[in-house]
Amino acid sequence: MTRPTIREMLEQLYAELAQLEPASEQQQATLDGINSQVQEWLADPDDSQEPDLQDRLEEALLLFEADHPRLTEVLNQAITTLTVAGV
């Protein structure tokens, strides 16, 4: 998987997260952490912590799957993209 493909996926995820209304403080904290890591990756893809990002996305998937089906879809795509990329 190429860096541009990962970049596109993370930009889509970032846009989806920006529209989300978290239902709890836990959801807000999770979103803040993901946003931070996505911004870090977009700023400097070669110096990012992709395995940490993938772990955080998997945690978010479990947290949001019942309340936010569109976000769940985007999270699944992001996790799949990172997995295929060998991250």
Residue 9 vs residues 23, 26, 35, 41: alpha-carbon distances, Å: 24, 24, 13, 12
**What domain range is 33 assigned to?**
3-84
Question: pLDDT at residue 5 above 90?
Answer: no
Dist. CA 12–CA 14, nearest whole Å: 5
**Poorest-pLDDT segment among 8-17, 49-58, 74-83:** 49-58
DSSP state, 85?
T
The predicted pLDDT at position 58 comes to 92
Total number of domains in the chain: 1
Question: pLDDT at residue 76 above 90?
Answer: yes
